Amino acid sequence: MHPIRMRVFRILVILTLTIAQSSLVPNPILAGLEHKATIYTADNAKVRVQAAVAAMGGEERLLAIKSLKLKGDGHVYLLEQSERPEGPWIVTYEAVTELRDLERRMLLQAVSTRGPAAGPEITSITTEGMTYSYVAGTQARPFRSLPDDVEWLALSPERVLLTALAAGDLHSEADTMLQGVPHHVVGFRWQSETVRIFMNGSTSLPTAIETIRAYPYDAFWGVWGDVRSRTYLSFWTLEPGGLHYPRQLDTERNGQPYRSFTITDLAFNSVFPAESFTVPANVRQALASRKPTTIDDGALGRPDRPAKEIVPNVVQIPGSWNVALVHQEDGIVIVEAPISSGYSAKVIAEVQSRFPGAPIKAVISTSDSWPHIGGVREYVARGIPVYALDVNRPILERLIAAPHRSAPDLLARSPRNPNFRIVSQKTIVGTGKIRLEIYPIRTETGERMLMVYAPDHQLLYGSDLVQGPLPDGSFFMPQYLSELMDAVKREGLNIKTVFAMHAGPTPWATITAAVANAAAIK
């Protein structure tokens, strides 16, 4: 719309309406026309977004940003990989260098991390609608290539308002209180995502950007279906040239704090070297034949480590997260439901192939972390009972209730109530020589875990408390082993062999020796 006509439109909107729909603080940015009353129509979304554009410095300044270079520091919470879903959470600290080419829709990120889950520096390049991630260095080891919808380039602080104005379905939503302050809300669709922008009722500056989308390629977020992410913009700074820009971004996912990031060095319209967004040839070649797979597409188990019978009627299927099948007289008990609904469907197919005609009588989920519960929805959808620790019921209920509209799984297509068998104390499943005893571990780091014991075979499943042995013969987190030993002693169990989600069958004597070695004064 022509600028003069737009100004006339605004005047007519305000002067011809008589019913105020908002009690927000008046906004002086709209040409001083709202000082008497804040009155809006149902189609005022563009007016609100244009006010936000003006508050940031104007459309001309935003459109003039062709590239952006930044450095910053932040932290990421390892949600549901920590001791408790409600926190406190294990933290990974990160240092980020980022280049954005907004005209050519290209992005480069170099991320180095510190903390218990830290790894080598990762470089990710988004170009031609694909993101290539690899470990930087002379070998440039690639580890991921994913289709990328360049979300961050379209919904970053300098572009989200322009993206909103270009959306054909931009609309106003109900005003709301956010951070104790009245806010206007607009919404629109961008690609497959639902997007909402919250704009301060006093300043018009955007306070938060919210998206609802699925993460089918993400091993963690994929299990939660349509994930609601909200990024708060703060630490607004007047940049050279008159642009106002947020230097701090705090992200929540599904209502929990996920990431906090502060920009320490920022430059607009920098000229990048020509090769900045060039994917190394060996990385592109190595990933060219790898078809990106969703969390449901992964094959069952590992070709290099076939399933094996640990003791009669107990089969372990090795994988990124191991699964065990226990053949009892009246059916099969599956230990763990990891990764995804699709992976659970493959486990069920394996049971039907390996034990023809035997019903699946139960699945035991021994922890609250996402590798353990990612596939629970498939069992619920098929009416299979789920054994779980009492304190883990809330997170399981949250998982079952998670919306899966973008990519419906079996439970989304055929909803049903879960059949939870909640474990608060020793619980026996089955009879005879392969009966199982389930015990809450209830130690410090094992607070949310169960152990499963087959007494006739002196065989113990240790959930996440046994991880290893590592190449040098040691185990990850000897504290875990020590706590498992405490739980075994408390319950008076006689153990010969232990196995776990991250460990094959291991002599119990090896565990006790590892704990003694870790505790020894060197």
Close Cβ partners of 490 (under 8 Å, ≥ 6 residues apart): none
Q: Which residues of 41-56 are buried (b: 16+ CB within 10 A; e: fewer)?
A: eeebbbbbbbbbbbbb
CA dist., res. 363 & res. 259, Å (int) = 33
Q: What pLDDT does 312 receive?
A: 96
89 and 79 Cβ atoms separated by less than 8 Å: yes
Close Cβ partners of 337 (under 8 Å, ≥ 6 residues apart): 323, 344, 347, 363, 365, 372, 373, 374, 375, 376, 378, 379, 386
Residue among 457, 462, 441, 463 nearest 512 (CA)? 462
452 and 437 Cβ atoms separated by less than 8 Å: yes
Q: Which amino acid type is present at position 364?
A: I
472 and 496 Cβ atoms separated by less than 8 Å: no
101 and 286 Cβ atoms separated by less than 8 Å: no
Q: What secondary structure does DSSP assign to 359-392, as a single string?
A: -EEEEE---SSHHHHTTHHHHHHTT--EEEEGGG
Q: Which amino acid type is present at position 272?
A: F
Close Cβ partners of 340 (under 8 Å, ≥ 6 residues apart): 222, 223, 295, 296, 298, 374, 375
Q: What pLDDT does 86 receive?
A: 84
Q: Which residues of 109-133 are buried (b: 16+ CB within 10 A; e: fewer)?
A: bbbebeeeeeeeebbbbbbeebbbb
387: tokens are 């054994």
Give me the residue label for tokens 């000229």.
271
**Tens-level pLDDT at each residue, the chain (522 residues):** 433 333 333 333 333 333 233 333 333 333 333 333 344 444 699 999 999 999 999 999 999 999 999 999 999 999 878 888 888 899 999 999 999 999 999 999 999 999 988 889 999 999 988 999 999 876 778 888 888 778 999 999 999 999 999 999 999 999 999 999 999 999 999 998 999 999 999 999 999 999 999 999 988 899 999 999 999 999 999 999 999 999 999 999 999 999 999 999 999 999 998 889 999 998 998 888 888 889 999 899 988 899 999 999 999 999 989 999 999 999 999 999 999 999 999 999 999 999 999 999 999 999 998 888 999 999 999 999 999 999 999 999 999 999 999 999 999 999 999 999 999 999 999 999 999 999 999 999 999 999 999 999 999 999 999 998 888 888 999 999 999 999 999 999 999 999 999 999 999 999 999 999 998 877
Q: What pLDDT does 79 receive?
A: 87
Q: What pLDDT does 26 receive?
A: 37
Q: What pLDDT does 27 receive?
A: 38
420: tokens are 């939870």
Q: What pLDDT does 138 receive?
A: 67
CA dist., res. 388 & res. 377, Å (int) = 13
Q: What pLDDT does 40 receive?
A: 45
What domains sit in the chain, N to C, each tagged with a CATH number? Answer: 3-63 (no CATH), 67-288 (2.50.20), 308-519 (3.60.15.10)
Provide the 10 A C-beta neighbour count for residue 233.
21
Tell me the CA distances in angstroms from 65 to 136, 159, 414, one per residue in order. 29, 9, 48
450 and 463 Cβ atoms separated by less than 8 Å: yes
Q: Which amino acid type is present at position 487?
A: A
Provide the 10 A C-beta neighbour count for residue 17.
13
